[in-house]
Structure 1
Amino acid sequence: MEPPQQAQQPAPQSPPPAQPPSGGYVSMASTTARPRGGRTACGPCSRRKIRCDAFEREGQPCSNCEKRGQPDGCTFNDDAPRSGTRRSRASDGATSPSAPRPKKPRPSETAQSVLDGIHAASTTYAAGPPSNGSHGQVPSWGSAVNAPPAIAYPSKSYNVVPGPQPQQQWQPHTTQGPPQHTGYYAPIEPVPYSQPASHDLKDLLPSHKTALRYFEVYKTICHPLYPVIPDLEEFEAAVCQYVEDMSSGRLTYDLASSTGRARAARLSWLALLTATVATGAQYSDLSISERDSFVTDHVRNAQELLRQADYLGRPEENCIGALLLVSRIMENDIMPEAAWSTLGMVGRMADLAGLQEGMNFEEHMDVRVREATNIRHRKLWWSYLWQEYSLALCFGKTSMVQVTHEEPPVRSANNLSYNDCMLLLCKLAISARPDPTAERSSLKTEIDALATARHLHEKALPRLADRANCRTIQDRIEYYSLRISQGFVVSCMSQTLMKACARMGWDQQSKHLQSMCKEGAFDCLQAFVDMQSFSVVPLRTWMFIFSALSSALVLAALSDDTDRPRIQELQRQLLHSLAERDREMELPHRPGLYSRYPKALNFLRDVIQTDANNINGSGKREDGGPPPLGQTSVMSEQQTRDLLDPAVVWTKLFSPKSAGDSYPAQHTTFAR
């Protein structure tokens, strides 16, 4: 049988200048030199068979791609059909010009695209990396466990912008009239959830370079001290795939083609990534103005992504992790009340998602996969409890979260890691809460928990148990972070038990508890002062600042003549460090600690000795200055009792009512 006549002829030349039918391939203008044998139309225009002026615009995207809002997709890909040529396929190394072109599979027969298998960033891949090294077999970021591997990017027509008119680009809503608030989450104009434009989503996502840069900061500094993401290795693999998809332009197309739960799962993972980038930027080396603007924009973008993912109607792991990071960012920007309110919402979401009970409705899953999911849920649940009860200790309140006798996900009873120690401290703080309504109690359980917390570091790794075993900077940072948290928890637990003993008339036990409280507060303050030499973490983490400042106030109430000089030296170093932080990080719309907590800092300054530079020539105290050398402010018995009550200390010295008159209100309107 003779092959078709057109297969025996050589490849035809460029088409004649006559106008082709509408919708067909349109050649380039004759005035522009064309590359011999190369593409003269971009991939999207070739797939749609419309006229393209990409070659005439000298490296700029064609007008069709700009009108569709897809300038990044204007590339000369090989997957689009070529006009005027026939591509022949060779088999077994032999070339045959008459070989028939293989039939192209229909779009319904192609495998899932790069992002179609996503469920959550915390799921694991079913198989390892491909053995042949081809890019088409790389699992998609955040793909499901049993999802099939994605093939090369399929060639099809993408209706990126639905409808005849493109949607308006997403813009944060800003009020025109006074007052102008500079909060994190400005109200956002409602956007239809069913058909959001792809270019709107792209504007909300961090670029591939930004994601790589600040994820590395998060991985190095933030995650070791506050591990919100249960499986960081899995998440990092997903970030790498995200970077490839973002740089190649696949991400925009795949997001536009997804709907329903798959789309919501992708958006929740993207919200977690954006919150991770914002958290890393908060500890980066950017200037304060650049850092504040960058973090504010990305937190707002994370909230918008969560809104489009319906995070209240479909609470799941990635939404909860993103909100935990957002609440920690609010803490560090001196908005702990907003973080406390956010955590109340996160607790309800975690309960609905079944994190505490380890619920799993996918009964067909493999036993190992189900167990891994259960462990991941427990880690995320205890990360939430960690932050919840830390703020509860600061406010002197009892958390509304009901915790059973479930043990935290600790690997072993000995050689505890930093994360294991922090989870055990959280468990001990929960169990050491005596019942305030009990008239008489032995307090045995609470006192045993306090003793365990005091000696917890002895069961940790050698580098966490003794500073002499620290060999790297990271070892020292984790050592000091553990001592700050351990000393603060021991001090707060001792103060709570002291109130119970005083109510029962146990004076001897109260004296022992005062000694433990003083020891814990001193360890916390000493570790905070020492940690500043190694890292920016203590002065950018609100929880560490409050722990050190409240410990300094406790030591002011419990110090005596033997240890007062040593304690006052640490208190002076603390005040000096906080003043330096305010000079470097204060902004007009976000004042520093001396404007937010003036009563606490002024009270601490008034009860310690200061140098002679603050004394005038008459030897008298200047207005607003510290007392002269050799004189110590004597506190009344009532002031001493107040300083040993966390709830009273927060109400009188740290609450928003005690802030300075010049301190502006911080508005945090969540995305709807």
Structure 2
Amino acid sequence: MNATPSHDEVDRVLRLKRKEREARACYPCRKRKVKCDGTQPCRTCQKRNHPHICTYDPPRDSRRGASPAVLNIQSHVRPEQPNPERVQRQRQQDDSAIALASANPRPDDAAKNYVYSGDNSVVSILRSRASNANDSMTRDLGSVLGLQNTFNNYPFMDSRTPEEKWTSLLSVLPQRSEVLKFFHYYRVTAYPFNPILADMDRFESDMCTYLNAHSAGELRHEDKIVDRWASDKSIGHISLLLATLAAGAHYSDIDYPQRLELATDFARRSFHALRLANFLFRPSLDIIQTLLILGNTLQNMGQSDAAWALLGTTIRLAQTMGLHTERSTLQWPEYVRTKTRTLWSTIVWQDSLLCMCYDRPPIVTVTGWTMDSDLLRRTDLSYQEVMHSLCRLILDIIRPDSFLSELDRAVEALNKLDTLYQRGKPHLQVRSSCTTLQQHLEHLALKMHSSFCVSVVCRPAMKQSQSQPHLLQPEILRNRAKGSLIDASRAFLDFQALSVVPMRSWSMVHTVLSSTLLLCIWEETRNDPQCRDLQQRVIDVFSSSDSRTAEEGGVDNDGQWLSTRHIRALVTLRSALDRQQESNVPENESWMPQSLDGAGLGSGSDVRFESRKQFPLKWLYRGLLICLWYLYIL
């Protein structure tokens, strides 16, 4: 016989029933007495074209109005043990709140502003002086002043209704076979040397969730919208997944034409998913990472100028969210703040390298985030930590704010670079300390990047017509410049013997080709036997694949964005070096190009020279002109 339930148990059951009867519909649907799916904004409000008024009443406090006895019983109830799934779900909701709260503000979130504004802006001043956090003056202040976006859907595409948006999303979803094949290449080959993803563990967990949902059939039917995958946050994650597949396809082992086609297709689908997620009007952390990976993939395809333009948009969106300053993230959860710091450091990484290559002014700043004090003291920095610190230092070098002379700044920058390099782990400093393949690759990658930085710092001395032994600073810079060009070439040759990374990474290809060209034309190195040997070996690496392709009728797996015309230009340069080595003539003879026909160059015609005397040195200049024409003008 069952025992009679106590009054406390009856009260508990009644409270639960009362909670079930609480209104779950938004205010417009409840007013019209129509069905509401409980999302924000709900599908009914979207169909009626007024998602901006889809609001929910704050939940009633179940403790309000309860008797003192009931409150006393509740205070002694053992708290419910945390559910791991619930904790994970809450973490995901907190992570997405940064991007979504500004898009769909609720009345109780009126005091929260996730669109960054500086302390001196009108928005910040009025908000700081508001006596009430829910003051109507600050609730919609951004919209009133025209400082906040209002479009809930991306306006520059045809998908308007939720049904059209869902159908368009299904058309670009990554298939299970694509994820399993190409994400591995990104994870193992691309990510270790350009870690754009700020939280790889979290990303892989979300990817597993996606694969399970895909296998369960949640993403198959056009007439059945799955709400959890139709949200902007989920679509943003899908765009990020597609971006990693584009990068993975670029580093895969398939033939170059198919590799280029696949990488381009993944990038196209990723960008379409970005539009579905309304990336330009509602940026999120996933969207910022997606744009960074797509920009880096464009670089690796040889489209670095387009990557430069896309990076500018990415940086502005990141600044919209306040990622560039630590103060704007104080109200966020700690793990999100850590992720944000890492993400902004990655943006600095991308911008600083592009700025060095183009000698253009940077957009990013590092003053908004304080350096980790522990990082400044440590002498066992990892590859990623050294690269983050290196790129931060590069910004100080390419954007000087001191009154020192150009040579003084260069010497000071070299000292800082040397100090940072010596704080890395042993295998990063000395290759003999490497014990694994990954350590060898990290050592060579850092050697290439640091050597390129040194060569950029020393270029003021390289531009001088001749050495000046009586001046100490120029001589030091010229010696360091020569050593950096040699080190960069050697590191590339050793790196490409172990991995496809240097032949597929635009920054590394640019580093070795620019170093080779400078070794060719600089008077301090062009007659040096050691430098000439390095030039020959580098040119052989790029020209050998083209030779094998022509002879075997196939496509070399290591081929990348250098076209056949680029390879032909390098072969011409190699021939010019051979002729110069055989001739051994004086170097100060005058020459002048008579014609430089772009069409003729493309068809393989000769470049003619007028000279007071016909010296074999003309072949060197001929090769250099053709090489520079193809590599930097076409």
Shorter-chain TM-score: what band? Answer: 0.5 to 0.7
Does the 8 A contact of 1:332 with 1:542 survive in 2?
Answer: yes
Q: 328, 334, 338: which one pairs with 2:306? A: 338
Query: Could you list the per-position Cα deviations for residues 62-95 of structure 1 after superposition, in whole angstroms to 9, with x for gaps in the alignment?
Result: xxxxxxxxxxxxxxxxxxxxxxxxxxxxxxxxxx
**For residue 413 of structure 1, what is the aligned residue in structure 2?**
378
Deviates more, 1:337-346 or 1:213-222: 213-222
**For residue 305 of structure 1, what is the aligned residue in structure 2?**
273
User: How does 1:510-525 map onto structure 2 within 5 Å?
Assistant: 510-525=474-489
Query: 1:655, CA displacement in angstroms?
Result: 6.9
**For residue 293 of structure 2, what is the aligned residue in structure 1?**
325
Does the 8 A contact of 1:140 with 1:241 survive in 2?
Answer: no
Q: 205, 208, 225: which one pairs with 2:176? A: 208
Query: Could you list the per-position Cα deviations for residues 561-609 of structure 1 after superposition, in whole angstroms to 9, with x for gaps in the alignment?
Result: 898222112111111111234547689xx97345358767745653456
Query: 1:204, CA displacement in angstroms?
Result: 0.7
Q: 339, 364, 384: which one pairs with 1:376? A: 339
2:251 is the alignment partner of 1:283 = yes
User: How does 1:205-604 map onto structure 2 within 5 Å?
Assistant: 205-251=173-219, 256-258=225-227, 263-358=231-326, 360=328, 363=331, 369=333, 371-404=334-367, 406=369, 411=375, 413-433=378-398, 441=405, 444=408, 446-496=410-460, 507-558=471-522, 560=524, 564-582=528-546, 583=549, 592-596=562-566, 602-603=572-573
Label 1:446 to 1:146 Cα distance change in 2 as closer, same or farther (>3 A). closer
Label 1:632 to 1:229 Cα distance change in 2 as closer, same or farther (>3 A). farther
Q: TM-score, normalised to structure 2's length?
A: 0.63
Query: 1:635, CA displacement in angstroms?
Result: 11
Label 1:609 to 1:193 Cα distance change in 2 as closer, same or farther (>3 A). farther
Query: 1:550, CA displacement in angstroms?
Result: 0.6
Query: 1:634, CA displacement in angstroms?
Result: 8.0
| More helix per residue | 2
Does the 8 A contact of 1:416 with 1:459 survive in 2?
Answer: yes
Label 1:634 to 1:610 Cα distance change in 2 as closer, same or farther (>3 A). closer
Does the 8 A contact of 2:381 with 2:423 survive in 1?
Answer: yes
1: CA distance, partners of 2:399 / 2:86:
57
2: CA distance, partners of 1:335 / 1:416:
32
Does the 8 A contact of 2:542 with 2:570 survive in 1?
Answer: no
Does the 8 A contact of 1:386 with 1:423 survive in 2?
Answer: yes
2: CA distance, partners of 1:632 / 1:437:
47
Label 1:608 to 1:601 Cα distance change in 2 as closer, same or farther (>3 A). same
Query: 1:441, CA displacement in angstroms?
Result: 3.1
1: CA distance, partners of 2:211 / 2:201:
15
**For residue 16 of structure 2, what is the aligned residue in structure 1?**
none
Does the 8 A contact of 1:497 with 1:513 survive in 2?
Answer: yes
CA RMSD of aligned residues (A): 4.7
2: CA distance, partners of 1:413 / 1:537:
29
AA matched with 1:532? Q
Q: TM-score, normalised to structure 1's length?
A: 0.60
Label 1:210 to 1:141 Cα distance change in 2 as closer, same or farther (>3 A). farther
1: CA distance, partners of 2:451 / 2:340:
29
Does the 8 A contact of 1:586 with 1:592 survive in 2?
Answer: no
**For residue 45 of structure 2, what is the aligned residue in structure 1?**
none
Does the 8 A contact of 2:573 with 2:627 survive in 1?
Answer: no
AA matched with 2:562? G
Query: 1:338, CA displacement in angstroms?
Result: 0.9
Query: 1:376, CA displacement in angstroms?
Result: 1.4
AA matched with 1:144? Q
Does the 8 A contact of 2:458 with 2:481 survive in 1?
Answer: yes
Query: 1:481, CA displacement in angstroms?
Result: 0.5
2: CA distance, partners of 1:144 / 1:499:
55
2:164 counterpart SS class: coil
Query: Could you list the per-position Cα deviations for residues 588-645 of structure 1 after superposition, in whole angstroms to 9, with x for gaps in the alignment?
Result: xx97345358767745653456899xxxxxxxxx9869xxxxx984899xx9xxx9xx
2: CA distance, partners of 1:546 / 1:601:
17
| Larger relative contact order (Cα-Cα within 8 Å, sequence gap ≥ 6) | 1
Does the 8 A contact of 1:268 with 1:306 survive in 2?
Answer: yes
Deviates more, 1:521-530 or 1:375-384: 375-384
2: CA distance, partners of 1:128 / 1:433:
54
User: How does 1:178-217 map onto structure 2 within 5 Å?
Assistant: 190-192=158-160, 194-217=162-185
Structure 2, unmatched stretches of 5+, are: 1-19, 26-36, 41-79, 97-155, 583-603, 608-614
Does the 8 A contact of 1:278 with 1:298 survive in 2?
Answer: yes
1:447 counterpart SS class: helix
Label 1:489 to 1:501 Cα distance change in 2 as closer, same or farther (>3 A). farther
1: CA distance, partners of 2:408 / 2:533:
36
1: CA distance, partners of 2:391 / 2:259:
31
Does the 8 A contact of 1:141 with 1:238 survive in 2?
Answer: no
1: CA distance, partners of 2:81 / 2:425:
32
